[in-house]
Amino acid sequence: MKTLVTYASSTGNTKKIAQAIHDALDGEKYIHPIDEVSDASGYDLVFVGFPVVGETMPGKVRRFVRKKLKGKKVALFFTHGMPSDMSDFKDVMPNCIESAAGTKIIGAYDCQGNMVPWVPKVLRLHPFGYVRRWAKMGPEAHGAGRPNIDDIAAAQTFARSVAAKSI
């Protein structure tokens, strides 16, 4: 099976998870930033990683997925600043999966990542109250030290599970 791990990463969090996923896979595998992938037609499985922006997949990634991965087996992985267990996070996974319409989603993994320090300050001005409350929480709520060793291990378990399902 020929597998591509591709990603967009602005802080390094998603790149770290992409590398962990790549390292966990057996067989013919490749890893490239999304900007470097001109053709994905030769791959049997594509892992697509990105940072969550506005509770969904960034536009650049959505365009890539819809244009180059139509009908393909796809596994999504994404990083975000908000803790996954916050009730307000519940819509993010469905939003990201919906953004990949036209593909065959066979798995999705999310991981909190360390936010750049200025983001919580800006988010304190956000129009939604839950975002303002979260922005005022301490560094742990903003992903300090994440992705960590447990996140890496979980990403690798996810990758092996997806690969086994896609054979």
How far is Cα 165 from Cα 107, in angstroms, rounded to an integer?
A: 9
For the domain with range 3-165, which CATH number is right: 3.20.20.70, 2.40.110.10, 3.40.50.1100, 3.40.50.360? 3.40.50.360
Q: How confident is the model at residue 145 (pLDDT cuts 50, 70, 90)?
A: confident
The residue type of 142 is H
The domain limits of the chain are 3-165
Cβ neighbours of 36 (radius 10 Å) = 8
Listed range (67-71, 85-89, 134-138) with the worst mean pLDDT: 85-89
Cβ neighbours of 60 (radius 10 Å) = 13
Q: What is the pTM of this model?
A: 0.89
Average pLDDT over residues 126-143: 71
Q: Enter the tokens of residue 101.
A: 């319409």
Q: How confident is the model at residue 86 (pLDDT cuts 50, 70, 90)?
A: low
Determine whether 135 is exposed, middle or buried from the number of CB atoms within 10 Å of its CB (0-12, 13-18, 19+): buried
Residues 6+ apart with CB under 8 A from 138: none
* pLDDT, the chain, mean: 90
Indicate whether 140 pLDDT > 60: yes
> Taking a C-beta distance cutoff of 8 angstroms, is the pair 130, 157 a contact?
no
Cβ neighbours of 62 (radius 10 Å) = 17
